[in-house]
Each structure stands twice: as structure tokens, then as C-alpha cells.
Structure 1
Amino acid sequence: MDGTGVEITLLDRVGDLPAEAWDACANPGGGVPADPFTTHRFLTALERSGSVGPGTGWDPRPMVVRAEGRVVAVAPLYIKAHSQGEYIFDHAWADAWQRAGGRYYPKLQVAVPFTPATGRRFLCAPGWEAAGRSAILSGLERIAADNRLSSAHVTFCTASEAEGAPPQWLHRVTQQFHWENRGYRCYEDFLGDLASRKRKALRKERATAQGFGGTIRALTGAELRPAHWDAFWQFYQDTGARKWGRPYLTRAFFDEMQATLRDDVLLVLAERNGRPVAGALNLIGRDTLYGRYWGCIEDHPCLHFELCYHQAIDWAIAHGLKRVEAGAQGEHKLARGYLPVPVHSLHHLPDTGFRKAVDRYLQAERAAVDQEIEVMTAWGPFRRGPCADHD
């Protein structure tokens, strides 16, 4: 108990708390969650599959805030032994701290593992937003101080969460590429917003991709079968080996997706001669489609762009979603209608000198990010004035 009538505890895993208690904070009101990544079913799938836990560098310690005899807030907290799978890069901070004789790891991380998607990180029951957020942040500070840890981090939080944090938490701004639905009825409506040259380029790109000699299917819910995950595991292995050295997720995680997350999944598969040859995995939120993984066992021109970006836009428009978040990095997304947007995170560094040095860096970084977003938005594919060009 912290003197305010609020009790903070750490569990060994999210699965130690009943789903209804966790989701009352993560997805108050029920129904389709704003994003599926902080739900009990997603986080426990990571735990049960061994994707997080012993030997992974992601040691779950979910934080639970209780008051008035019930759970009023939770946070997906991990003890991190490295900085892999976070997508808000602090390797230079770790190097500087260790060069100065400090020990950067372990550190505290409130995050969804391996998931560069913005969403609530202070998961509070209705009416407990301010008190729950304050309890989580003060709890993180106290844990870091009591254990002499270098830092605590809250990554891919919402802008309001970042802007509402106390001054001892540094606010970092980076950027991603998102597609926004401007009330389009179909993909051709979206193309109509683009400059003529860009419009023609995307039509040509889609025609090239769709001419790969097979079919493309978008599957979700009951349409998904275990064989689809066998195929996608091959794709994921190939991409993971090339990008990260080894894949973060285990094969068992995809079995968990089939068992408990099918309704949250959109799997876009390209099939040729009766077998899947490429695929893109998306997660479905209340108003956003989240692009997560891509892979293939055959190379075909432009097929990556078709499955990951164009098919995602098609599906979002057809299902009335407001946006597509296409994951981390990738300036090639700009030409396909995905514009840069700011991404937020919070960082607590107890050492005063270290905090001041990082703060100076973050201020300079933020100015550079703001400028980059402005420049790239201006260079985007959309028409710039009332005088529409024509095909």
C-alpha cells in the first residue's frame, strides 16, 4: 500500500491474473479492442508459447494496481536483459552508460514485446485513468530506485499518455508511416487523391504483383486453418533470419493464434500451384489494421508491396477502418500513401547526469523528427492543390 489507498503488486506473468480482471482495464466495455496487443489473450499467448520468459531477455512482471478491493489498473511490464524487439532504439544509451562504468541491463520496460504499434500502456478501468497512471509511473520509479536499475521505459504509448507524464519522465518522439482513410469507398477513391504520376505507378505496381501466376486471399477468423500457420511459419522464419538473426516468436505462438486469436487476425496469402508462397500477417483493432509480419518462399516482383500495403488498404476500406499502421521504419511506404506520423515513448533515468545528457539528445532528435515529418509529408504522393491532374 502506498499511502493513497492504492496497492501495487507485480505478478510472474499476465496469466496469473484472470482474463476478466485484466481485460476490464485493457479493453473496458468489451467488444473489439482498440488494439488486440494488450489484451489478456495476446499477452498470455506470448507467455504460453515461450516467446517471452526464461532465456528470451523478456521476463514478464506485469504490474497490477488495486483499490477499493478490485483491480483498477494494469501494465504489461517486463524486465529486459537487452534492447532487442523494442523498436525504440536505446543501444547508444546503453553503450554510453556502460562506458561510464554503469550497468544498463536489466532495465524495466512497459511494452508489448516485438510490437511497434501505438496503444494505451497505462491500462486503467473507467474513472481510474489519472490515479492508475500515477500509480504505475510512481511504481516504476520506486522499483528502479529500490533495485538500482539504470532506467525504466514506456514505449509506443499514446500521445496523451506521454504528454501527461511528470517531468522526471523524458518524452521521446520518433516516427512511423500510417495510412489514413479519408472516407474512401474503394481503392480507386484513394487513388483519386494521388497525383497522376503516383496513381499510374501504383496501378502498374498492383498489376505486376497480381500477375505473379496465382491468387491472393485475405483470411480471418474461422477461415484460418492450422495449415495456414504451417505456411506462414516458413515465411516468418525466412524474414526473421534475415532481419534479426533469429525470429522472436516461437512456432507455438502461431498455434496460440489459431486457438485464441483468430478473430484478431487478418492473414493475406498469395498461393501458386496450390500452395502458399508468400503472406502478410495483420492484427485487427477497433478502427485500425496493424501490419506485423511478411515473408515468402518465392520471389515475385512487387508482391511484398501488394500483400503488405495495397491489400491492407483494400481490407481497411471495405471494413470501415480509419487507418493502417504498417509497422516500424520503411520510407518506401511513403509512395504507397502511408504518411509519417509521430510515435511517443517515455523514459525514466534516475541518474541526474545521465538524464540531462539523454534529454539534450532527445530535444535535438525531436527537432530533426519534426522536420523530417514535414519534409516527407510534402513529398508524399497526394495532390497538392485544387487543380487536379488527370490520367
Structure 2
Amino acid sequence: MTDLVLHIHSSPAEIDAKAWNDLLALQPNPSPFMRHEYLAALHESESATPESGWTAAFVTLRRGKRLEGACPVYVKDHSYGEYVFDWAWANAYEQHGLKYYPKALVAVPFTPVPGARLLARDAKSRTLMVHGLVQWCKQEELSSLHLLFGADEDIAACAEAGLMLRHTVQFHWTNTEPGYPNFDAFLASLSHDKRKKIRQERRKVADAGVSFRWSRGADISTADWDFFYRCYARTYREHGNAPYLTRDFFRCMADTLPEAWVLFVAERAGKPIATSLIALSAAAENGASGIDAPVAAYGRYWGALERVDCLHFDACYYQPLQWCIDNGVSRFEGGAQGEHKMARALMPVKTTSAHWLAHPSFADAVERFLEREGAGIENYMDHLGERSPFKAS
């Protein structure tokens, strides 16, 4: 018996923002993407709503009025915007005359950033949430439950509850203690060919007459946000897709979570031609929104109106890395996939998701598949480890 009660909410607006953020600040790996302001903006801007296939069903765990646990949950009728791909699973269901959608997702929409998903005061509350989520999925007759890019504590709770684990690879840069004093010192740590290539790429951008400026937090002007969105939307449309996030989403960010963003603007002859946007996370002990102590940065979005050789590399990697070094940021996460990032000193990191499937036979088949895939991931990590861009120690 327990006095903890599970509640389902149809909108993040139904949950007290301070209580949610206070719970997030207790987690070992908080990120700005799990803040109430970020999740509420996705909903209020109509970026993640039932109309776009993201029906909120947020979970809270309470003891009386006290919030003991919480997590973002979405009921989905597609698999877009997730970055842990289960299209083959959905196709297999369809081929056997079964419905894979709707399914339940514990994740941040459109955001493949590892970190806390099950916000809990202790391990018991975290495990109770997992069991409660599985039971709720059964009651709602959902095909499956998926927790994406979870923290170690989340994955441990899911494994204890019998969920299957799946691994993927991302690429992260680390500014190890005592930290690089400047960008040249960072370059000096690389092998000769990698160092030479980066300098050549940055020289091409400079020789094309391109320079950069950056703004942080409230210093990002409305005009810069407008220009950024123009570039962001153009990049998506050039790849044949509509942008996931609306302009109103970034307007919400400027209003409610400005401290979480740094914007780089590339200019030529005084005219802006490209932008890149990174997000910041602060130390848990300082609160997840502290502006003065960023400990991690996350490469998020970029776009350009003009084509300049190597501009993408400079805007998305070298400018953010130089900013991280200058501001004492210890980690830069480059997002999902991208083996080419190793040439820019972003090293492979294994990320984990957890999965529960209601259909026993499909659950058995997926478990066998994940065993084979997991062995392949381990071999892939070993292979990548042999290709370090750094000098031999």
C-alpha cells in the first residue's frame, strides 16, 4: 500500500510551474528542455498539440498536495520528431493487421537531448511512476510505452520494471579540467591533420568576408529572433519538410526562458546571412535556470540564406565551442547522429531509451532484435574509439 496517487493531465498548464521546476532542480542531469516553461511553450505555440499528433497526458505523482514525481507524456499517432526510430516496428504491426498507433511517449518533442525524464524525489517514486505508466497504457489500450534519452536513474527504474533497453550513439565535446584556456589550446590538443582541417575551414569562412556576433538571453533582439526563424524555417523547407516549431514557440522562449539561449549571427558586409542557436543548462545546485553558471550547451538549430563554403561547420561547431571555452562550459552536445562530428572533437557517447510493448509476441521479437542491435552498437563504439581526433597520449 502507498499514499502516493498518480494523476494524468491533458496540458502542462494544469501543473504548477514552480513545483515542476523545483522537482527538476533535484535531478542529477537537468536540462532547459525539461523546464515547465519549455514544455508549456510547445503546447501554447501549437508546436506539439493533438493537431500535430502530440496529445499531452502528463503524469504527476502526489502525496496529498506535495508533488513527488512528474514526467511529460504524449500519446502519439506517428513517430516523427523522436530521433529513436521505430518505423520498422510500426510496419511489422501493420503487416500483421495490428495497430501500432496510438502509442505513449515519455520524451521532449523534437529534442534528442539526454537527461532526466522521470522527475522524482527518490528511487521509489521513480519506479512507481514507471509501473503506473505501464498500467495506464494497458487501461488506455495503447500499443506501447517509450522513454527516450533517459538519465541513468530513469533507465534503471525502467529496467527494474521490465522494460527493454535500446542504445543509440550521439557525439559530445568535453572541456575537461582544468579546461582549455582558449580555442588555440583546444586545437593544439588535436592531431595535426584535424587541427589543419579546422583552421582551413575557418579561414575559408573568414576569407569570404564573414564574421560572427553572438547574443545571450534577453540581449537577443526581436529582429534577431525573426531572422533566426527565417533561416530555421528555410532549412526545413529546403529538405522538403515543414518546421516542427512555430515562430510563437521562440517568442515564448524569449519571454519566459531567455537565459537558456545563445544566438550566433553570421554577417557579411554588415548583412546577416546565417544563424545558429544553442541552449544552455546550469548546475543542478544553482537551479536549472541559473544564467551565470552554464555547465552544458546543446547545439540545436541553424539556417542560412546564402551559401558559403564551411559556414555550417563554423556556425554550428567552432563558434559554439569557442564560446564554451571562453565561458567555462564543460560540455557541448551536438545532437542526434553525425559521425562527421568526430572530426570536430565531438566524441561518441552511448544514449539509452526504454520500451514496453503490450503484445507479447511482438515484445519477444523486439527483444531479440534489440539484443542483436545492441551488439552492433558496442562494435560501432569500439570502431569509433579507434578514430580519435586527439593526439596520441
TM range (shorter): over 0.9
Contact 1:33 1:285 in 2 (8 A): no
Contact 1:169 1:346 in 2 (8 A): yes
Q: 2:312 aligns with which of 282, 301, 304?
A: 304
**1:320 matched to 2:347:** no
Q: 2:257 aligns with which of 247, 261, 274?
A: 261
1:273: Cα distance to partner? 3.1
Q: 2:391 aligns with which of 370, 383, 386?
A: 383
Contact 2:267 2:273 in 1 (8 A): yes
> Structure 1, unaligned stretches of length 5 or more?
386-391
**1:71 matched to 2:36:** no
Aligned residue for 2:213, secondary structure, equals strand
Q: Distance in 1 between matches of 2:36 and 2:157?
A: 25
Corresponding letter in the other structure for 2:223: A
Corresponding letter in the other structure for 1:335: A
Contact 1:122 1:132 in 2 (8 A): no
**1:240 matched to 2:233:** no
2:268 corresponds to which residue?
A: 272
Contact 1:210 1:303 in 2 (8 A): no
Corresponding letter in the other structure for 1:119: G
Structure 1 108/244 Cα, relative in aligned 2: closer, same or farther at 3 Å?
A: farther
1:327: Cα distance to partner? 0.7
1:262: Cα distance to partner? 1.4
Q: 2:51 aligns with which of 50, 55, 61?
A: 55
Aligned residue for 1:112, secondary structure, equals coil
**1:110 matched to 2:103:** no
1:168: Cα distance to partner? 2.1
Contact 1:27 1:39 in 2 (8 A): no
Q: 1:170 aligns with which of 164, 167, 182?
A: 164
1:334: Cα distance to partner? 1.0
1:260: Cα distance to partner? 1.4
2:212 corresponds to which residue?
A: 216
**1:6 matched to 2:4:** yes
1:69-108 to structure 2, matched below 5 A, reads 69-108=65-104
1:145-176 deviation per Cα after TM superposition (whole angstroms, max 9, x unaligned): 11221100000101332134225200111101
1:225-259 deviation per Cα after TM superposition (whole angstroms, max 9, x unaligned): 11011111111111212346111001111111211
Name whichever of 368-377 and 333-342 sits farther off.
Answer: 368-377
> Structure 2, unaligned stretches of length 5 or more?
283-294
Structure 1 244/361 Cα, relative in aligned 2: closer, same or farther at 3 Å?
A: farther
1:103: Cα distance to partner? 0.5
Q: How many residues in Structure 1 have an aligned counterpart in Structure 2? A: 378
Structure 1 16/50 Cα, relative in aligned 2: closer, same or farther at 3 Å?
A: same
1:34: Cα distance to partner? 3.1
Contact 1:156 1:345 in 2 (8 A): yes
Structure 1 160/244 Cα, relative in aligned 2: closer, same or farther at 3 Å?
A: farther
Output the aligned Cα RMSD.
1.6
Corresponding letter in the other structure for 2:280: I
Aligned residue for 2:52, secondary structure, equals coil
Corresponding letter in the other structure for 2:147: V
- Relative to the length of structure 2, the TM-score reads 0.93
Corresponding letter in the other structure for 1:169: L
Corresponding letter in the other structure for 2:94: Q
1:281-337 deviation per Cα after TM superposition (whole angstroms, max 9, x unaligned): 111012110001111100101110001111111111112111100111111111110
- Relative to the length of structure 1, the TM-score reads 0.93
Identity of aligned residues (%): 38
Contact 2:127 2:157 in 1 (8 A): no
Q: 1:336 aligns with which of 341, 344, 357?
A: 344
Q: Distance in 2 between matches of 1:243 and 1:376?
A: 28
1:68: Cα distance to partner? 4.3
1:388 corresponds to which residue?
A: none
Q: Distance in 2 between matches of 1:160 and 1:373?
A: 22
